[in-house]
Amino acid sequence: MIKVINVVGARPNFMKIAPIQREMSKYSNIKPVLVHTGQHYDKRMSKFFFNDLQLPEPDIYLGVGSGTHAEQTAKIMTHFEKILNEEKPDLVLVVGDVNSTAACSLVAAKMNTKIAHVEAGLRSFDRTMPEEINRLVTDVLSDLLFVTEKSGLENLKREGIADHKVHFVGHVMIDSLIYFKPKADQSAILGELNLTPGEYGVITLHRPSNVDNKQNFEKLLNAFAQIEQRLPLIFPIHPRSQKMIDQFGLREKVEKMSNLRLLDPLGYLDFMKLLHNAKLVLTDSGGIQEETTFLGIPCITMRENTERPITVEIGTNVLVGTDTQRIVLEAEKILDGNAKKGQIPELWDGHAAERIVKIISESL
């Protein structure tokens, strides 16, 4: 029997672990144990995703909550060390690039427990981005590295990671997108918000470089203020950004935009329905660059770089940074009918979790 601890902590982890948990439960020789660190704890950032994604209740909940990077990482480590001592798993599987990913990898490595990293090898080459540090740390410690796009293979090779550890398997987040598409189609969110398919834009914004910096945040809001004159904008807002709007005194500026609607964070199915029917998406998220590429929806990414270059090379994604005019010009291009057409990346076919779990069952 192979005992695997599957780690989740923050919102973008849940849709990645769901297909892996589901696939593992089909194997009689694998026992998955789901550990939730509690990095995200609000119902809208966590519980609702468990429901939508049909994830079982976590077997173990660490309840670490928010804090500075060091505080949060240290708390996860201390709690997770105890769990490893009790559970003695054969493998710790981590996904993505959040603090929970790096913290649990570090603990497992020190306790000589094998580590699998799903979504390995992505690099923005920007070490001011906390996730880049998490990606580097996790990959160097991992025994099995599962890669979503070819750039990941090149990055890991250049960093000297042995070839036999690395597997190009596609993308578990796209597994979830495909698996839950019929359910997402049934979401009533468009009716509830009085939206017509193809006649609105979606905004998501939460990177510290964008929302923890008043000047950058304002530049982005200035762009939204111009775009909303031509297209209604729906903005389900991350708690970090919500907090910063008040801290920077930007609430009035946001409320002045009559065609921009702030919403609480949405659940997975509602958000997928909203994305799928959008005219365009403005984001600084990593995962949404990929989801829009898969769905063929034009994506304007308000960042200077991306660790997911395939979405720009062959997908619908365009990087625009935080310059107001660049953002507006790109949105106008789409509204004038000149959106970039994209293709779906290799192996983003709904079967990544099957490949991953097969490799795990054969290599442990």
Is residue 66 at the binding interface for ligand UD1, with CB under 6 A as the rule? Answer: yes
The helices-and-strands tally (H runs, E runs) of the chain is 18, 13
Crossing angle between the packed helical segments 352-363 and 172-179, to the nearest 10 degrees? 130
- Stretch 25-54 residues interacting with ligand UD1 (CB under 6 A): 39-42, 45
- Stretch 218-277 residues interacting with ligand UD1 (CB under 6 A): 238-240, 243
Is residue 351 at the binding interface for ligand UD1, with CB under 6 A as the rule? Answer: no
Identify whether the C-beta of residue 331 lies closer than 8 Å to the C-beta of residue 227.
yes
Residue 30, number of CB atoms within 10 A of its CB: 19
Of the candidates 178, 153, 158, 175, the residue with the CA atom closest to the CA atom of residue 17: 175
Q: Which is nearer to ligand UD1, 199 or 264 (CB)?
A: 264
Given 37, 99, 148, 283, the residue binding ligand UD1 (CB under 6 A): 99
Cα end-to-end span (Å), the chain: 10
- Stretch 175-194 residues interacting with ligand UD1 (CB under 6 A): none
Is residue 10 at the binding interface for ligand UD1, with CB under 6 A as the rule? Answer: yes
Crossing angle between the packed helical segments 69-87 and 99-110, to the nearest 10 degrees? 50
The pairing of strands 2-8 and 144-147 is unpaired
Is residue 206 at the binding interface for ligand UD1, with CB under 6 A as the rule? Answer: yes
C-beta of 361: minimal distance to ligand UD1 in Å? Answer: 29
Rounded to an integer, what is the distance from CA 312 to the centroid of its chain?
17
Given 8, 55, 84, 98, the residue binding ligand UD1 (CB under 6 A): 98
Q: Pick the catalytic residue from 206, 238, 276, 351.
A: 206
Contacts 24+ apart (CB under 8 A), 63-71: 63/38, 64/37, 64/38, 64/39, 65/38, 65/39, 65/41, 66/39, 66/41, 69/99, 69/130
Q: Is 206 a catalytic residue?
A: yes
C-beta of 359: minimal distance to ligand UD1 in Å? Answer: 26
C-beta of 320: minimal distance to ligand UD1 in Å? Answer: 19
- Stretch 299-318 residues interacting with ligand UD1 (CB under 6 A): none
- Stretch 119-138 residues interacting with ligand UD1 (CB under 6 A): 130-131
Dihedral angle over CA of 223, 238, 7, 351, nearest 10: -50
Of the candidates 211, 167, 191, the residue with the CA atom closest to the CA atom of residue 347: 167
Q: Which is nearer to ligand UD1, 99 or 306 (CB)?
A: 99
Interface stretch with ligand UD1, choices 9-17, 163-171, 229-237, 322-330 (CB under 6 A): 9-17
Number of residues that bind ligand UD1 (CB under 6 A): 19
Q: Which residues of the chain form contacts with ligand UD1 (CB under 6 A)?
A: 10-12, 39-42, 45, 66, 97-99, 130-131, 206, 238-240, 243
Catalytic residue IDs = 206
